[in-house]
């Protein structure tokens, strides 16, 4: 009996020790989870039950100098699906393919994915949205997204550029000023249950996302339309492949029109080619040819090496220079400098360049802005190509005299001519006058900027 009592006490003591040890282990584990790993598990739980609901802001408008809209943001609905909630994949695939004009196999493949969310079609038409809404199917929903619309179609298309479906600028002003136009993205927290259903939204009710800034341009839609019309007619007349027209206010640098051919319609950007999207006015270099003679004329007059009535013998249209034969289109004898400029005599300009010398000529080419970017507020600008005077061969002085052996952009040439027109000031060109915020506040503003004085008013 005594042994039995001792045995019971032993077993009770052992059980007590085991119980205390177990409690200690559980307590220790609880402390470890709560104190040491509490934050990580909290974040894990939030990731499983709390999702961030991203709300895109309304993109700002692009307006010409008179306030005419060139780019606007409208709201359209996008269709999405929750594959794990769909009861009849085949039936829903057929319905969606028929309503949205999609391929049945592609829709079915999306609905069979092991994902909680898939886009079916972005930015559908109002009629499509109504038909989707009428289906009222579990696992199918729609979401409002901003849709970019260009009411003037191809007008200034390469200047304006375009955006993708996530409201990000990809080319043109849409890219250059994307941070101003896009606005600040908003978000709220969405709580979901174990089945992924939304049960609580924190901050969605009354969530106000301020729109992006409005861009006010220097472009004049009427002048832009005329420039594009005349460019297209000229291209057709001379059977050219491409062309550019630039209209600039010489005293301020404001670009009133910038036309490119081939034309580009940003409403259909996905169907247009890279050549159509290309803004050749700033992205393409070319040999300026006889248009460059104005630069030489201005430099020669500024340096005083010629006078307007100085006579030059134009060799009757054929001149041997540095081992090459230079021709004119017509046979000219003695001509005053003013007449040489009027008839665009290559031989006459070679003789003017000989009097100026290559070092001084190169200095003025640089001062007029060639071989360097103009700084216009458009993406994709190139500096052109200008070799240093010390690298010129014997014949380069002659070829540079009539615009060969140098590469310039249309914008560089336009600003050089603007400097001649305004009395000798090289201006920085710009196409955006100002950016206004949602409350009308000025977020950014361009002002006329003189790059340098190139020639005095006594020049050409």
Distances (CA, A) of 89 to 109, 280, 299: 9, 49, 76
Distant-in-sequence, close-in-space partners of 368: CB < 8 Å, separation ≥ 6: 295, 298, 416, 419, 426, 454
CA angle 164, 165, 170 (to 5 degrees): 10
On whether the CB atoms of residues 146 and 167 are closer than 8 A, the answer is: yes
Contacts of the segment 389-395: beta carbons below 8 A, 24+ positions apart: 389/358, 389/359, 389/361, 389/362, 392/358, 392/362, 393/322, 394/322, 394/323, 395/321, 395/322, 395/323, 395/324
Alpha-helical regions (H) of 247-357: 274-277, 280-283, 293-303, 337-343, 346-356
Answer yes or no: 338 catalytic: no
Catalytic residue among 125, 236, 290, 393: 290
Q: Which helix (H) or strand (E) holds 103?
A: none
CA–CA dist 261, 239 (Å, integer) = 12
Q: Backbone dihedral region of 427: left (phi > 0), alpha (psi from -120 to 50 degrees) or beta? A: beta
Helices (H) and strands (E) in the chain, counts: 17, 20
Alpha-helical regions (H) of 239-314: 274-277, 280-283, 293-303
Distances (CA, A) of 342 to 11, 86, 189, 308, 336: 122, 78, 72, 11, 10
- Residue 174 is encoded by which pair of tokens? 């849409």
Q: What is the DSSP string of 51-66?
A: EEEEEPPPPPPEE-TT
Residues serving a catalytic function are 290
């Amino acid at each position: 009996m005594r042994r039995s009592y001792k045995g019971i006490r032993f077993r009770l003591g052992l059980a007590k020790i085991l119980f205390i040890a177990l409690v200690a282990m559980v307590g220790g584990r609880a402390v470890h989870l709560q104190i040491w790993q509490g934050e990580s598990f909290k974040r894990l739980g939030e990731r499983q039950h709390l999702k961030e609901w991203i709300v895109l802001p309304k993109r700002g408008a692009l307006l010409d100098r008179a306030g005419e809209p060139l780019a606007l943001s409208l709201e359209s609905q996008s269709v999405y699906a929750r594959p794990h909630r769909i009861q009849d994949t085949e039936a829903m695939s057929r319905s969606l393919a028929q309503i949205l004009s999609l391929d049945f196999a592609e829709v079915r493949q999306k609905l069979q994915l092991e994902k909680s969310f898939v886009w079916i079609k972005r930015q559908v038409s109002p009629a499509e949205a109504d038909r989707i809404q009428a289906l009222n199917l579990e696992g199918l929903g729609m979401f409002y997204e901003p849709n970019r619309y260009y009411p003037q179609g191809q007008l200034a298309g390469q200047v304006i550029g375009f955006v993708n479906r996530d409201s990000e600028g990809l080319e043109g002003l849409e890219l250059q000023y994307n941070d101003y136009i896009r606005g600040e993205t908003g978000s709220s927290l969405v709580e979901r249950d174990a089945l992924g259903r939304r049960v609580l939204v924190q901050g969605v009710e009354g969530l106000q996302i301020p729109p992006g800034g409005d861009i006010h341009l220097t472009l004049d839609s009427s002048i832009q339309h005329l420039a594009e019309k005349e460019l297209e007619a000229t291209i057709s007349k001379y059977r050219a492949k491409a062309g550019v027209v630039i209209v600039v206010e010489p005293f301020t640098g404001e670009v009133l029109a910038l036309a490119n051919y081939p034309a580009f319609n940003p409403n259909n950007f996905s169907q247009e080619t890279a050549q159509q999207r290309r803004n050749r006015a700033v992205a393409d270099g070319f040999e300026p040819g006889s248009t460059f003679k104005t630069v030489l004329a201005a430099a020669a007059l500024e340096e005083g090496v010629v006078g307007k009535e100085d006579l030059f013998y134009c060799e009757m249209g054929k001149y041997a220079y540095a081992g090459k034969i230079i021709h004119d289109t017509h046979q000219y004898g003695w001509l005053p400098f003013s007449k040489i400029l009027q008839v665009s005599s290559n031989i006459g300009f070679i003789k003017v360049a000989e009097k100026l010398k290559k070092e001084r000529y190169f200095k003025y080419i640089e001062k007029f802005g060639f071989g360097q970017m103009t700084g216009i507020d458009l993406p994709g600008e190139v500096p052109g190509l200008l070799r240093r005077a010390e690298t010129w061969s014997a014949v380069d002085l002659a070829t540079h005299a009539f615009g060969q052996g140098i590469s310039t952009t249309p914008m560089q040439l336009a600003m050089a001519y603007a400097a001649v027109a305004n009395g000798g000031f090289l201006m920085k060109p710009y196409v955006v006058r100002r950016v206004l915020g949602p409350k009308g506040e000025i977020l950014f503003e361009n002002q006329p900027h003189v790059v340098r004085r190139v020639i005095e008013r006594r020049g050409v």
